[in-house]
Structure 1
Amino acid sequence: MSVLAPETSEWLAELGIVPADETRWLAALTHGSLGSETNYERLEFLGDRVLGLAMAEWLFEASEAAEGKLSQRLNALVSRQTCARVAMQVGLPQHIRLGKQAHDDGARESTNILGDVMEALLGAHFLDFGFVPTRDLIRNFWESEFMGGAGKSKHPKSALQEWAAGNRRKPPEYELVAREGPDHAARFTVRVSVKNVGDAQATAQNKQEAERLAAAAFMEQFG
């Protein structure tokens, strides 16, 4: 008897996946808010490493770029934001198993949770089928991100740092303005300022992303 919900089994089949160990996939889709001893955290740890290796191999094959450029693209392609976008594209959110409070708090739309569960699924796939089939799955799921601009342009914080130096300004300063919401669905607002120029701020689901968005907003306004 299947331990997965019928709609989840159908969704996986549509993706070309027939789990060998359904309990593993159930764990990959289970958030800690359900109070279960088995959730996605261990599988996410494994899937993160599998994704990194698969993406590094893909980049090495596809580009003659130097190590720095390869690392820049790798970091962008395996980031929580990219993993979350892929999760949305393949229809993952509705299959995440959440406790009531996490559901009510909007955890299903959380970039962090979507990214983590996406990696947990890769971990489950790796354990069921091995590296090569999982690598092929990653190349299928990540194709639009890989062929697009992810990681090709300079990170906004680096661009802002260079802009400030080039214009003989003091380095940009980042300040956490607010942190709101529960831990699993927190929202961070960050302000970046350059003395005698101005400031900009942005809000995101983690501090690093808020800083990135704030830097991008600053460059759009003053750069």
Structure 2
Amino acid sequence: MNVKKRIGLSLASAALGLSLLAGGTYSYFSDTAEASGSFVAGTLDLAVDPEVVIDVDGIKPGDWMNRVFYLDNLGSIDISEVVLNTSYTVNDANGDNTDDFGKHIRVNFLENVDKQSPFEYNDIVYSTTLYDLQNLTPDLVELRVLEGFEQSGLEAGTSDLMFVQFEFVDNGEDQNQFQGDSLNLTLSLEAQQGEGEHKE
């Protein structure tokens, strides 16, 4: 074998060795572990019992009607506010109305029993007409909170017992235009969560 062939063979062997070193595998210890997590969102679930708060016929100026209803938190998250949105429509039976029937129906929020003293039973804590209530959004679970009683809001799994009075106000003037009229009321209650908080 001549010198050129030996040098070429040596170079080829060296190149092969380098490629084996570069492309070879190394053995080492290894281990793996994994972690997992989950997030489950809570629920807001407000119910009103009964769903029809008032349904009365044949009222006249000076009449009043007391009603009781429950606000139930059936969800898993505490409710911080229960905002009341009010709307109504009037059916003018004789087509002679010069005033809004809703201005003559007063709503007296008597109390939230869970946040009141029993010695102030049926005390009017907030009063307005249906007409004005359309433009207001009171928080029903914070109409009045007394020191030493349940605070504002509605905890998950609890209820508040509410008393309300509707009154056809006798204004001492001619209210004949409302004879035979009807008013259909919608009370929409919106539950709202409180601020976020640290969770364990």
Instruction: Sort the TM-score into its range (normalised by shorter chain).
Output: under 0.3
Greater relative contact order (Cα < 8 A, sep 6+): 2
Normalised by the size of structure 1, how large is the TM-score? 0.24
Q: Which has the larger radius of gyration?
A: 2
Normalised by the size of structure 2, how large is the TM-score? 0.26
**Larger fraction in helix:** 1
